Structure 1
Amino acid sequence: MKLNNLRKKLGDIDRRLLAVVKDRQNLSHEIGGLKREAGLGTRDYHQETQVVERGRAMAAELGLSPRMVEELLLVLIRASLTVQEQDRVSATGEGSGKRVLVIGGAGKMGLWMARFLASQGYSVEIADPEGPVEGFDHVTDWKNSTLDHDVIVVAAPLHISNEILMALAERRPPGLVFDVGSLKSPLRAGLQALTKNGVRVASVHPMFGPTTKLLSGRHVIFINLGHEEAVAQAREIFSPTMATLLEMDLDNHDRLIAYVLGLSHALNVIFLTALADSGETAPRLANISSTTFDAQLAVAGSVAQDNPYLYFEIQTLNEYGSQSLDALAASVKRFLSVVKNEDKEGFRELMERGELYFADLAKGTKPSELG
């Protein structure tokens, strides 16, 4: 049948295409090695721009959609950067001969940290009540450990992490201690106790989830608790990556996180709750969806599939959390008032104010995929 023959030809083309992608990935390994030898950074925005512009020009010559070619090349660029970043992290060997204990390492973010540290040559041990994790040495109860590790990472849920930090403060371990919690104010007492007892302590917030592979464009926040050496050592762990490393104090962190995480999570949970309570089935809405609806649904859907207990902690344990929620409630009230009163100018003002805010935001955003 002609249709089957044509589909077979498509399959053959796909196979050849993937073989070429494999060749491109192999070249990325080599290019990454040469960059390291020359002391160059992993990412070169100028080169990426040239690659995409060249691709768009070739697309025009071949009668292809320039947008489609650009999107394809950006996927390939990110894949190449992921390979090069992982190679650089491994080649740095920051952790060679050093031991790490990850308390809570069986959790999603704890396991990400364990794997990330292991890729740098650290000998990683995991202590978690969930039991052993394949590929890592298991510590049944960290409280019975000597705690003579070079680094101790606390990656437990927030409501437990403060107790762990307090207990560590009593033991005064000699190595670097840091948590990776999404909030810091619930950990204030534990972090202060470690500082008071002379422990090398910092606090870290990786601003990404456990499925992240490429750290380019991601942020890692470091809370300076008064021990400069501890912050420098914690930063060194992430320095081989392309993540943007930021420092701030504890209170500013949680004040900002109330909006960055708290507000965005709340919006998406409320959006999905309104849909679930609407009586309209998801397939019915999907059949007539718009671009805006699809984009919002995709973000909200990813939130819905995440850990509800973590999200609950982010909403309830932040000392500054009420600020963003009060702002959200006031904004909804104002929006309803404008709509119910058929206030056309008021509605325009709301949207224009948002447009101005977004314009200011865009001026300070991180570089796009093309720099």
Structure 2
Amino acid sequence: MTNVAVIGAGEMGGWFARQYAQKGLELRIADADHQKAHALASELGAFSGPTEEIIPKSDEVLIATPLDTAEGIINAHQHLLKGKTVYDIASVKNGIPEALAQASGKSLSLHPMWGGATNGFENQNLIMIPLHPLEGAYQSHFDGLKQRFEGYGTRVTMLHHGEEHDRLMAWNTALYHFNNLAMGLALSRSGMPASRHQQVEGTTATLSRICAEAVAHSDPTLYFSIQTKNPYVREAHEVLWQCFSHLKDVVQEGNYGAFAKVMQQASAYFMEGKDPQNYLKKAMSQFAAAVGAAKGAEFRHVLAT
């Protein structure tokens, strides 16, 4: 039976611990808050203890601590991590993959693209980043873990290094969070209560509002780290601001031609590589399904990942 040390008993550390327990993995749990680790371990019938005690007794080590502490924890326990399968689940990889690669020849980096309210692994997107050349024993090791997660029902995407991950996440995650938070802030300054907006909102507003609501209700420490720790976020912010400014000018000038061009450019971007005849029908169907899902309670939390 695989024995996993979960370092960090917060939202995502707790999520992985509960899911792993359901899959039959044996768990050992550590957290700077010893009471939190003990409570989670008691819930799952697992062991808890200091990090330096549970790592030597485990086959795998999952680093699920906050972004500000993950790299330091890895560096402080390098002598215990050697030879272990060790991986993080951080939203920003800046510095973490390098620390992991130095700590163990069997290390890799993960990014689960979901939040702690998700019911399970099935149909979720998981990023996997190899930290050593994909050859020989490491190739077999990496493929084995990939097959495990695919067996759980996740859709696995492999990226080549942490820099590629952070650049992609600056546009994929941080920019969406930033835009949703700005939308929530703008609505809060509208002079009308949220309930009034909700009474009259259409389908686009429903989906946009629930996205903004989910982000606003999330952990500010994590979301601030996603905006500030990723070195590529500033570029994404600047481009978004340029686009807002351009669109504002187009609308205020009453320039229909320029407005239509903006919509055409965005449409062409999303349609790239797709069958034009089926694209709009499928896109509208997906939109309708998303709006329907958005009215379910769980969706409010899942969207915020």
The TM tier, using the shorter chain, reads 0.7 to 0.9
Cα distance between partner residues in 2 of 1:153 and 1:215: 16
Cα distance between partner residues in 1 of 2:224 and 2:68: 11
Cα distance between partner residues in 2 of 1:230 and 1:183: 24
**Residues 298/232 of structure 1: CA separation in 2 closer, same or farther (3 Å cut):** same
Q: Is the 8 A contact 2:28 2:49 kept in 1?
A: no
Calculate the aligned-residue CA RMSD, in Å.
2.4
Cα distance between partner residues in 2 of 1:214 and 1:356: 34
Aligned match of 1:346: 258
Q: 5 Å matches for 1:205-216?
A: 205-216=111-122
Identity of aligned residues (%): 27
Q: Is the 8 A contact 2:7 2:62 kept in 1?
A: yes
TM-score normalised according to structure 2 size = 0.81
Cα distance between partner residues in 1 of 2:234 and 2:64: 25
Cα distance between partner residues in 2 of 1:342 and 1:192: 55
Aligned match of 2:2: 98
**Residues 172/296 of structure 1: CA separation in 2 closer, same or farther (3 Å cut):** closer
Cα displacement string for residues 72-116 of structure 1 (whole angstroms, at most 9, x for unaligned residues): xxxxxxxxxxxxxxxxxxxxxxxxx22111000x21111111122
Q: 5 Å matches for 1:323-362?
A: 323-360=235-272
Count of aligned residue pairs for this structure pair = 269
**Residues 149/260 of structure 1: CA separation in 2 closer, same or farther (3 Å cut):** same
> Offset at 1:144?
4.0
Q: Does 1:127 align with 2:30?
A: yes
> Offset at 1:136?
4.0
Aligned match of 1:296: 208
Aligned match of 1:42: none
Q: 5 Å matches for 1:1-371?
A: 97-104=1-8, 106-130=9-33, 131=35, 132=38, 133=40, 134-145=43-54, 147-194=56-103, 198-226=104-132, 227-249=138-160, 250-360=162-272
Cα distance between partner residues in 2 of 1:264 and 1:178: 26
SS at 2:272 equivalent: helix
> Offset at 1:360?
2.0
Cα displacement string for residues 20-48 of structure 1 (whole angstroms, at most 9, x for unaligned residues): xxxxxxxxxxxxxxxxxxxxxxxxxxxxx
**Residues 252/160 of structure 1: CA separation in 2 closer, same or farther (3 Å cut):** same
TM-score normalised according to structure 1 size = 0.67
Q: Is the 8 A contact 1:220 1:245 kept in 2?
A: yes
Cα distance between partner residues in 1 of 2:63 and 2:261: 46
> Offset at 1:146?
5.4
> Offset at 1:173?
3.7
SS at 2:230 equivalent: coil
Higher relative CO (CA 8 A, sep ≥ 6), structure 1 or 2? 2
> Offset at 1:295?
1.6
Cα distance between partner residues in 1 of 2:262 and 2:78: 50
SS at 2:267 equivalent: helix
SS at 1:239 equivalent: helix
> Offset at 1:121?
1.7
Cα distance between partner residues in 1 of 2:143 and 2:115: 23
Q: Is the 8 A contact 2:52 2:80 kept in 1?
A: no
Cα distance between partner residues in 2 of 1:123 and 1:144: 15
